[in-house]
Amino acid sequence: MLFEYLNYHICFQSMTKLQKIAITSFLLVCVSTGFLFSTVSCSPIPLGSRLTIDENNYWMSANGNFRFGFSNHSLQFSVGIEFCLSFISGIEPTLVWNLGGHNKVGKKSYVELSLDGELILFDTEIRGIAWKSNTRNAGIESALLRNDGNFVLLNQKKNVIWQSFTSPSDTLLPGQNLTFHQLLLGASEGQEASHYSLSMSASGILQLNWDNSVTYWTAGDPSKSTVHVMLNTEGAVQGYDHMSKVVWSVFPQDFNDKDVKFRFLKLDIDGNLRLYSWRNESRSWRPVWQAVQNNCHIFATCGYDGICIFNSSDSQTCDCLHTSAGEEYCILLNQQNCALGFSMIRRDHTFIYETRPLSRMMVKTSLQHCKRLCVEDPLCQAVSFLKNGTSECQIMKSQFISGWSDPSSSYVSFVKTCLDPIAVLPIQMHNFTNNQSHKVSVLSIIGGITAVSVLACIVFLSAIGTYMGRRIRRKCAGRKEALSSNAVVNSSGCLMLSYSKIKEMTEKFKNQIGPNMFKGVTQPNNKLVVVKDLSTSSIGEKIFCDVVLRLGNVHHKNLLKLEAFCCESHYRILVYEFVRNGSLAECLRDSEIVKRLTWRKRWNICISIARAISYLHNGCWEFISHGNLNCTNVVLDDNLEAKVSGFGLSPLLPSPSRSEESPAEKDIRDFGMMICVLITGIQSGDKACKWAYAKWAAAELETLFDKIIEGVDFEEMERALRLAFWCLQVNTQRRPSMAEIVKVLEGAFDVDPPPPLFG
């Protein structure tokens, strides 16, 4: 209690008169009712300090404007920094920084500044560390939430070793820089990562991007070199050169207004960048500037199959491009074989564009001929014709299209509506709203989130490749003393180890458990690991380090974690967590373990694998394919829960023969094979698929499955087999996406009988 009293005293002395009155009144109310609602600390935070959800405690800035702690989002919790203006006005705190991005954790989770100087977030949902600052043994002596909202870790000399300002989430505070290698990532409503980001291009242009492939807003002067962007206290967003000279500025409507007490710049969930100001008299945050004036001009603001309608009242709503099966959701159509015919829906004052892949074609022709070009082309999804004398006809062949409608627009569009059955249908309705969010929560959004296109990867890598390449090469070629001390190379906590450390860990590669795979033990915590030696593959240093950087930042409970790596001399070694039961293939051959693989266990294994691959395809900063998904590359823990291994290694392995399948389509086909293997018990994927399809087509489910499986649910088996046969379609455009597959297995989507698989 004495320590808490001193913390309050220090805080109180640094506050304004108004804040002191508010705090005093608040404390009197608490004392009169016999308790305090929470505990706060605004002094330097010592090692060993901890925040928990149950105790509702916080670390506060000395001026009382900011607090660091847990936030409750419908019983899902996150950790971050908030404007805590509730002490002054009763307004709910406003989140300005998220620890570990936008991740949610369980209600028994905690944050701790460990005794060895590392800030960690322990998540009870995954029963492990969800995030850490990677500052262990870096000389950290204390932490502090500064008056500007920057949370810092300090050494004995009070030098900043780590700070929240260098890893922003979706918000910039006054005085906080955004540099070339940083970005703001918008929050998202679901589990998928947001498609919207704010970053600086290589030429110093501030830009809003969708999936790192489409830029829909820019600011800056390309003729002048900008090295960082900052929001100043007067409200201007400004670009600075290497001499800290302002080279461009954007001003809000209340620029230099002395009545404005607080400001922040935020990338909102709808993809728009807005500047917010706080006035005490209005007792609210209000937007005073936004980058995109018409929200319909934000790329894909209504999802993959929605259209944004801008009306005369300056508000926006979302509607379906194709004919919908109901008024509250859209259908994404698979129109490769329109056996039942199709119609062309005309939309005046409407512009249509592709979201992925970006392959729009433009010709000069008449309106009617433009429409006819789409009617006669089986791959055409929509056309947009510009009626301003230019006679431009833009043809879209991608299944994933979006658009906007504006009464002042000169565009006329035609959208093809195909009446074929589709692989999946949404069961639950999803409402359209006109708020500042992704307004179309529909099958088209789920179906559209397949693989991030090659174009997106090229654009993304061209922007940051030079910087990151140099950075990782420096990491890989680090000094020997850094190697011997397990130097941390990235924010994921993936360690760089020396080759001597690898030999020590594996007892000179004594215990081999597979081809180029060895069992090892880390010191001093005696943690079991698996060491994968790729040294014989002649892998270049840059390629290897690029892969390590990408994989080290992948975190999912159903993906095997990369713990460390070695990039010394010609050695190329990866170190993974150890899972005791081994691969799924081994478990299916084990006479004892296979008996424990009941129908429910196998169903859950399918869901876990699907979630893991969907995360790789859609949830990472860039698309990651598995490339070799099979039962050998899935491991089972003590509870027979699945973790996918071997993902993302395609750049390190010999190039396979040319295939018309994309990496995402191959993963989907491989997943379909795994379903057949799990149900039939036949180890060969090809044989399992042919056997399963023959029995399913003959309606002989009773003889289809492995008789050792207990508790078979025939309704779920029918669902799983239909899904598998959609995944195995020779026409790759008929295959569902991994996001759709997850929804089918979770019961959110129904699934139609598939077309013939062989023939």
pLDDT of 428 strictly over 50 = no
Tens digit of each residue's pLDDT (9 = 90 or more) over 606-656: 999 999 999 888 776 668 889 899 999 999 998 899 999 989 888 777 655
* Nearest alpha carbon to residue 102 among 222, 11, 4, 185: 185
Which residues have a Cβ under 8 Å from the Cβ of 29 and sit 6 or more positions away? none
Superfamily designation of domain 169-293: Bulb-type lectin domain (2.90.10.10)
Using CB atoms within 10 A of its CB, is residue 657 exposed (0-12), middle (13-18) or buried (19+)? Answer: exposed
pLDDT of 11 strictly over 60 = no
Predicted pLDDT of residue 586: 92
Is there a contact between 509 and 518 (Cβ–Cβ < 8 Å)? yes
What is the pLDDT of the chain when averaged over all its residues?
79
Is there a contact between 447 and 304 (Cβ–Cβ < 8 Å)? yes
Which residues are registered as beta bridge partners of 573?
Answer: 533, 566
> Rounded CA gap, 307 and 305, in Å?
7
* Nearest alpha carbon to residue 303 among 419, 436, 443: 443
The ranges assigned to domains in the chain are: 1-167, 169-293, 296-448, 454-577, 584-751
pLDDT of 378 strictly over 90 = no
CA 228 centroid distance within chain: 25
Tell me which amino acid residue 291 is.
A
Higher pLDDT, 757 or 377: 377
- Residue 194 is encoded by which pair of tokens? 């947001």
- Residue 647 is encoded by which pair of tokens? 């993902």
> Rounded CA gap, 114 and 538, in Å?
40
Mean pLDDT of 400-404: 87
Q: How far is CA 422 from each of CA 337, 479, 667, 720, 724, rounded to the nearest angstrom?
A: 11, 57, 20, 16, 14
pLDDT of 180 strictly over 70 = yes
CA dihedral of 332, 335, 338, 341, whole degrees rounded to 10: 50
Q: Three-state secondary structure along 536-573? A: HHCCCHHHHHHHHHHHHCCCCCCECCEEEEECCCCCCE
Higher pLDDT, 264 or 451: 264
pLDDT of 593 strictly over 60 = yes
Higher pLDDT, 670 or 187: 670
Superfamily designation of domain 1-167: Bulb-type lectin domain (2.90.10.10)
Predicted pLDDT of residue 459: 41
CA 362 centroid distance within chain: 33
Range with the poorest average pLDDT among 277-286, 491-500, 543-552, 710-719: 491-500
pTM: 0.52
Predicted pLDDT of residue 444: 38
pLDDT band at 392 (very low <50, low <70, confident <90, very high): confident
* Nearest alpha carbon to residue 361 among 371, 369, 353, 351: 353
Using CB atoms within 10 A of its CB, is residue 336 exposed (0-12), middle (13-18) or buried (19+)? Answer: middle
Tens digit of each residue's pLDDT (9 = 90 or more) over 310-366: 765 556 788 887 654 444 456 555 544 556 677 888 998 899 988 876 666 888 889
pLDDT band at 657 (very low <50, low <70, confident <90, very high): low
Tens digit of each residue's pLDDT (9 = 90 or more) over 721-748: 999 999 999 988 889 989 889 989 988 8
Mean pLDDT of 364-385: 90
Tell me which amino acid residue 380 is.
C
Q: Would you tell me the crossing angle of helices 714-727 and 663-680 to the nearest 10 degrees?
A: 150
The matching CATH number, chosen from 3.30.200.20, 3.40.50.360, 3.40.1130.10, 3.40.50.150, for 454-577 is 3.30.200.20
Which residues have a Cβ under 8 Å from the Cβ of 690 and sit 6 or more positions away? 758
Which residues have a Cβ under 8 Å from the Cβ of 730 and sit 6 or more positions away? none
pLDDT of 544 strictly over 90 = no
Predicted pLDDT of residue 429: 31
> Rounded CA gap, 108 and 122, in Å?
9
Mean pLDDT of 520-533: 85
Higher pLDDT, 359 or 420: 359
Phi, psi of 632, rounded to the nearest 5 degrees = -70, -30
* Nearest alpha carbon to residue 402 among 540, 475, 299: 299
Cβ-count burial 377-411 (b if 16+ within 10 Å, e if not): eeebbbbbbbeeeeebbbbbbbbbbbbbbbeebeb
pLDDT band at 108 (very low <50, low <70, confident <90, very high): confident
Cβ neighbours around 346 below 10 Å, total = 12
pLDDT band at 524 (very low <50, low <70, confident <90, very high): low
What's the DSSP call for residue 617? I
Tens digit of each residue's pLDDT (9 = 90 or more) over 51-104: 998 888 999 999 889 999 998 876 678 899 998 865 555 677 889 999 877 678
CATH T-level topology, domain 584-751: Transferase(Phosphotransferase); domain 1 (1.10.510)
* Nearest alpha carbon to residue 124 among 70, 61, 185, 67: 70
Mean pLDDT of 144-153: 95
Which residues have a Cβ under 8 Å from the Cβ of 278 and sit 6 or more positions away? 83, 85, 260, 261, 262, 263, 284, 285
pLDDT of 595 strictly over 90 = yes
Listed in order, strand segments (DSSP E) in 273-349 are 273-279, 284-290, 306-310, 316-320, 342-348
Integer-rounded Cα radius of gyration of the chain? 28
Phi, psi of 508, rounded to the nearest 5 degrees = 60, 45
Which residues have a Cβ under 8 Å from the Cβ of 225 and sit 6 or more positions away? 204, 241, 242, 247
Predicted pLDDT of residue 143: 96
Phi, psi of 129, rounded to the nearest 5 degrees = -80, 120
Predicted pLDDT of residue 96: 93
Cβ neighbours around 511 below 10 Å, total = 12
- Give domain 296-448's CATH architecture: 3-Layer(bba) Sandwich (3.50)
Q: How far is CA 662 from each of CA 212, 288, 320, 617, rounded to the nearest angstrom?
A: 19, 45, 28, 12
Q: Do domains 1-167 and 584-751 have the same CATH topology?
A: no
Reduce the DSSP state of residue 375 to 3 states and report it: helix
Tens digit of each residue's pLDDT (9 = 90 or more) over 260-313: 889 999 999 999 999 999 877 777 888 989 998 888 889 988 887 788 987 655
pLDDT of 587 strictly over 90 = yes
Phi, psi of 643, rounded to the nearest 5 degrees = -130, 130
> Rounded CA gap, 570 and 146, in Å?
45
Which span out of 6-10, 173-177, 566-570 was modeled with the highest average pLDDT? 173-177
Is there a contact between 149 and 127 (Cβ–Cβ < 8 Å)? no
Which residues have a Cβ under 8 Å from the Cβ of 243 and sit 6 or more positions away? none
Predicted pLDDT of residue 30: 36
Higher pLDDT, 232 or 545: 232
Mean pLDDT of 531-552: 81
Reduce the DSSP state of residue 658 to 3 states and report it: coil
Predicted pLDDT of residue 252: 87
Tens digit of each residue's pLDDT (9 = 90 or more) over 477-522: 443 333 334 444 433 446 778 899 999 999 999 888 878 889 999 8
Predicted pLDDT of residue 59: 94
Cβ neighbours around 529 below 10 Å, total = 18
Listed in order, strand segments (DSSP E) in 371-516 are 382-386, 392-396, 400-405, 411-418, 424-426, 495-496, 512-514
Using CB atoms within 10 A of its CB, is residue 665 exposed (0-12), middle (13-18) or buried (19+)? Answer: buried
